[in-house]
Chain A
Amino acid sequence: MMTKNPKTNFLTGKKFPFCPGCGHGISINALNKALQELNYGPNDVIVVSDIGCSGLIDPLFATHTIHGLHGRSPALGLGVAMGVAQKQNKKVIAFIGDGGATIGLQHILEAARRNVDMTLIVLNNLLYGMTGGQISGLSTQKFKEIIDFEKDVPPFDLIQLAHASGARLAVRVNAPNKIKDTLKKAIETEGFSIVEAASLCPSYGMKRMNELMEVVEHENILEHKRPATKIIDRETNSLLEQANIIEPKYDAGLKERKGILIAGSAGGGAQSVARFLAMAGMYAGLETTMKGEYPITVGTGFSVAEVIFDHQPINYTGLDKPDYFVIVTEDGLNKIKSKLHKDAKIYIDDKLVTDELKSEFPDLMAVPFGKMANRKSTALAAVTYVLNKEKILPVETLKEAVSTHRLKDIFVDVINKVVES
């Protein structure tokens, strides 16, 4: 192809820092030519590099450059690509060696999956050149047979892996005279492209190119038709605009700070009810806090929530000695048992009451919460019952609170039934 922009040199002219005979220089020169022929300007190109012999390219490019950590150039490069995606005609080209490629293997697969426009060039010289020629995850079987090292472990096939992850273009190229055109095709590809280029390491690997050609994996080109992922900024709304502003409408029954502990099971609504209860307090002009506790596996086990009310601002939010316990399920009871104390009013589902519990807390109030509503609304029924009985807050405040919910009709019905009974 004709050189469209022969005057632009994408190289600084600095002497290549590679060992005599090293194959990396071939790919560097090929990239320079490919960019010239594709008519890019230096300010359009961002070269991303990391650590190892392949990382020595950083000072060689007269483009934008960023030089980061070993094995991370595919991720750093994808970050840059996402960052410049809304600018015109910018191209991110990241380099990595075969050593870095296994450190950042997940970054490569993720970049392939994301398919944001960028090109990753893997300079594969089959070994770790900077630390003594140790084998890499891309060292081929044939190469390992020669050096008698981990012969039974096959190499990663980066091209297959990138393709399976969704790369628009994944190419392995071995012949030095094909690298430029392969890079051109990759750079022109819109989306994620990866080019694995075979590279000679004269210090620890093969001394001659024909020896290298005998041990490398076969060349391969794999493509997907999927379009490149578009990166756009979206408009969003303030999180505070959605806030439910609560104005006091009722008088609170309580005189001083009170803490209520609701103990139920996952899926039983304890967290939502505690939230409603906290809002109910605000409808009564109180300061309030609400805190939930549940296992990491949120769908099973206990679900415990604390609500504190006070006329004064609440600083410390701990609730060491709750004034009221509302215990709906066995999971909940087991979780909070150690917190029960004789000064508290303990309301508990009648089915959970044991002789032992009764003898320790003779004043506890056994209530058939389970019969007042279905499983999902038992906590709401129980809290309604306790509010009504103890006159902590007017029940109307709880109705106000649930009215913000999409299931308000069902909830109001539960509250009404408890009050009427």
Chain B
Amino acid sequence: MERKTLAILIMALAGLVSGCIYPYDVELESKENMFVIEGDINIGSVSQFSLSYAMSLKDFSYSVSPVSTLWVEGEDGTVYHTREPERSRGPFTVDLSDAPDNCRYRLVVQNHDNDRKYLSQWSEVHLPPVVDSISYSISADKKDPRSKVMDMFLSFHSDSGEKYFRWSYLEEWEYHAPIQAFYYYERPTKSDQEINNILNHSAMEKIPSEVYGQVLKFDDQHPSTYTCWDRSESRDIMLATTEDLAENRIVNKLYETIQETSTKANFHYRTTITLSSIGRDSYQYWTNIFNNSENTGGLDAPVPSQMAGNLYCEEDPDEIVIGYITVTKALKYRAHLDFSHTYFFKYAENIYGDSPTVVMEDWYKSWKAGLRPVGIMGYAGPTEPLYGWAETKCVDCSYWKGSYKSRPSDWPDKWPDSEK
């Protein structure tokens, strides 16, 4: 009786606090003609802008950008044109390396498709903050205390009185397969069907060598499968403000959580933060986009609403234009972290098992079964090495998802001192 009552209690409370979430399919009207202008006027470097239209929720690819001419105007009368030719679809780049800080700027877009001109409000330059550190800490996962997570923190401050900030980041990392293999298997040149025919019609003791394939050492043409690199650009909107803080600095702002099974935490990790000071209005605009996209549905979540940015159409001021053009000097900050000694990373699958030795006759079969050669474990004859084989996931880092062997061009040979 007690247990039964308890079950009812738990069920009831579970219903109370967690509720249930179900898919909801509804036919929605589409509003696809809203013009979207994205990019910041980034003084002191090259700015990038892209133009698009909002699209239907059901579409999977974005419509072609309108043919436009785009430029940045300084209030001092200077016009900064795009590197791209006039009347192009973008994305556009504008070199503002020499643009002075003490000037107000705006973006002008002449959309040739609808023959309308779009302008941003004149804005002063927001000066960049200074990054103090990027750090991480490892702790139990709140949702599953048996697992661990690595939280990444960003600390920065502003000496110029800026109070609103936005940043994005690029992550790049090197990771390794569980076992370093020195050899790879090259299958016979024959097709699978031909090989199977030969195997099926041969006596077991006389399998012809033409269907053995080859085990070869990695070389420049066939680089090792031990090391991989991967990269990821942030997609979340990251904002911070010091409006209510006694000091104009943000300390240990959590911006990324890495699961223990993520290859990001396997070995070397590099992150490049692009940090900008923005204005209060821009901060509100980005907060609104964040709330509309990522903070909906809760019991007390704000009702989503479309907020106007600082762009307007000259011909029709009532036209809704999506985008907020901030005039800023972005700071790029790169940090190198070495996770190889954290003992945090865990492969997402079991990697423990036998590494059987395989004779030449069985190479092809083993390869087909998902095994890969690792190294010489002995010799079956005077000239016949006996290779140990292991599952693909143990020797091939690309199994764990990543851009196989595409080492970033500026990836350092000697890893810089890590921040912690």
| A and B found bound together | no
A interface residues, Cβ below 8 angstroms from B: none
